[in-house]
Amino acid sequence: MAAKSIISRPVYGTLSAQPGKHHLFVADAEGALAISDLAAKVPAGFFADAHIIFIPGNDGKHVAALEALNPAQFYQGPSFASALPRLKQTLANAHMGLRLYLAGTEGLIGQAMQAALEAGIDHTAIQTEHRGSLARRVQCVHCKGITESVTTQPATCSHCGLLLLVRDHYSRRLAAFQGVCINAEDRSEIPPTEEIFR
Amino acid sequence: MGITFRKETFRDDFTFRNSPEHIRRFPFPFHEDSYMYAVNIEPHVLGPKGSVLENLIDVDEHYVAEMQDRALVLAEDPLRCQSLSHMTLAGWDLLELLMEQQALGYPEHFTLTRDGDRWRWINRPLGIDDTFTFGDVSTLPYGPMEYITRQSQGDFCILDQRDGNLWMDAGMVTTQADWSLDFDIGMNFFEWHAPVPLAHEKGIFVRALKFLTNIQQGKPARRLNWTMTINPRLDTSPENYHKWGPDRATVTPENVGEKVHLRVELQSFWRLPRSNGIVFPIRCYLIKMDELVTQPKWARRLHRVIRDLPDELANYKGLTRYRATLVEWLSKLDDGSPTSPGFGPD
């Protein structure tokens, strides 16, 4: 669990089945376990109206467990970017009664939510559950570039190279935490780097 | 008699100065010898002649230079002005408000004439004379919010009101005290204030939101906020922090009076008639220490406020690196005698 933080920092819950006609799941890596946990509590036939978009990641685990739920549609993709066109089309064609469930890393939840917000779905209507890595997507406030999978504090911007303080301040619109130059006042001050978002 | 607009800069050679009249009208933000957050919101009504409240939208001797600085910022970084797609109507509301108020307060400089939806706007200080159709964006060179806020001092945030909250859905923000519109756009009231220390625990934002969502048309409100800036730099954005941050390490006992500026924000809050949004102008006033201490009461009081400020607040306001130098410099102007109540100079 993330430590107590500031109000713009997202708060995640536990996936629970919502009344609805269609159920869209987007998950990566250990997010599959959140779907399995939910599956243990739902009535038979729940997944007959479900679509699962899953990005297993490097170790390729959990695919069989999700397929065994027999969802109406199952998609396995190599990256979030590759899954995004499919997600966008599904959201654009969605009718009333679609329920959205996001599970996995913060980067996955944030980017899938960003696509949902753009499709007009209110963020409070989306079920989320954080599983796995605490690595962050960080927007450099200076050059606006986004650095993926940040695990350290401070972190180097992969675009402009400034050393960034990774704040808890979070933008749903950008699906990113804010990074601000940590030694702007005196560039010779180099604070130690710690791995804290694992 | 019109305003004599100063030719001055807020960057590079920093020629910004206040005239003696403008020093006396500076909105000094401390009514007592200490400072802590409070919901210090009051009705935005007209104040004394010669004060910054003589008009509800204040235009001063820095107007032309500030608008030139804004144009430079926007050319460098157009993301400082953004409006989500549902906010265009609120932009027209704001255009009407600012044209009306500036024409009302400064008829020698601004004229608005209306013939139904055909409006003519004359802005003499900036050499603008435009005729357009109110409500038709194709008749203006920019969207309505950008058009009028390129001609109005201060930053402007337009807040959409829905679900009992206020949403930062449009803004022109080029003179900000270290917050990013590009990052915060689309956030609600609590989210965009999230990084502010201490105030959430005191329930400040819950009470402030309740007040703001109840603001009525024709009854604007206001509050003062403050920070400090090294050099009279308007663009202290986080975007450019790596460029202006080093200034904070340049303060010495010899240059405090010239370099260190008190930066006061006169924030006002107005209900917009068509969109039911709220516009939140953040008007920034700068004064260097040498100018401020020409008023002995302000010198004594500022010394006590900065000396006794909680560390967490000093840190948030970015004072830490030069605070000791500033306090030492101000202490020489504080003989310990009492200060009179209220904001104004003696």
Q: Using one digit for the tens of pLDDT, what is the confidence trace for B245-298?
A: 999 999 999 999 999 999 999 999 999 999 999 999 999 999 999 999 999 999
**Same-domain pairing of A97 and A187:** no
- Which residues of chain A are within 8 Å of residue B180 when distances are taken between CB atoms? 141, 178
Closest by CA to B241, choosing from B181, B299, B298, B318, is B318
CA pair distance A152, A196, nearest whole angstrom: 6
**Same-domain pairing of A97 and A34:** yes
Residue A96 belongs to a domain with what CATH number?
A: 3.40.50.80
Instruction: Write the pLDDT tens digit of every residue in B118-163.
Output: 999 999 999 999 999 999 999 999 999 999 999 999 999 999 999 9
Q: Verify whether the Cβ–Cβ distance A142 to B242 is below 8 Å.
A: yes
**Same-domain pairing of A118 and A164:** no
Q: What is the pLDDT of residue B23?
A: 96
**Contact between A89 and A120 (Cβ < 8 Å):** no
- Please give, rounded to a whole number of angstroms, the shortest distance from the CA of B258 to a CA of chain A: 19
Q: Verify whether the Cβ–Cβ distance B185 to A173 is below 8 Å.
A: yes
Q: Verify whether the Cβ–Cβ distance B241 to A187 is below 8 Å.
A: no
**Same-domain pairing of A102 and A69:** yes
**Contact between B73 and B80 (Cβ < 8 Å):** yes
A 37-96 residues inside an 8 A Cβ radius of B: none
Closest by CA to A136, choosing from A121, A124, A146, is A146
Instruction: Write the pLDDT tens digit of every residue in B33-53.
Output: 988 777 688 999 999 999 999
Domain-terminating residue out of A130, A150, A169: A130
Instruction: Write the pLDDT tens digit of every residue in B97-106.
Output: 999 999 999 9
Instruction: Write the pLDDT tens digit of every residue in A101-149.
Output: 999 999 999 999 999 999 989 888 899 999 999 999 999 999 999 999 9
Given the residues B223, B248, B301, B304, select the one marked as catalytic. Answer: B223
**Same-domain pairing of A88 and A184:** no
Domain-terminating residue out of A73, A106, A130: A130
**Strand stretches in B44-200, DSSP E:** 81-83, 110-115, 118-123, 128-133, 155-162, 165-172
Q: Is B150 a catalytic residue?
A: no
**Same-domain pairing of A140 and A126:** no
Residue A33 pLDDT exceeds 90: yes
**Same-domain pairing of A50 and A88:** yes
Q: Answer positive or negative: Cα dihedral of B192, B280, B29, B293.
A: positive
**Same-domain pairing of A91 and A167:** no
- Please give, rounded to a whole number of angstroms, the shortest distance from the CA of A130 to a CA of chain B: 20
A61 lies in some domain = yes
Q: What is the pLDDT of residue B118?
A: 98
Mean pLDDT score, A157-174: 96
* Residue A72 structural domain: 22-130
Facing residue for A141 by CB, picked from B192, B194, B238: B238
Structure token pair of residue A92: 């654009």
Three-state secondary-structure class, residue B65: helix
Mean pLDDT score, B77-106: 97
Q: How many domains are contained in chain A?
A: 2
Q: Verify whether the Cβ–Cβ distance A162 to B182 is below 8 Å.
A: no
**Same-domain pairing of A123 and A146:** no
**Same-domain pairing of A125 and A147:** no
Residue A1 pLDDT exceeds 50: no
**Same-domain pairing of A158 and A114:** no
**Same-domain pairing of A39 and A126:** yes
Facing residue for A185 by CB, picked from B185, B187, B249: B249
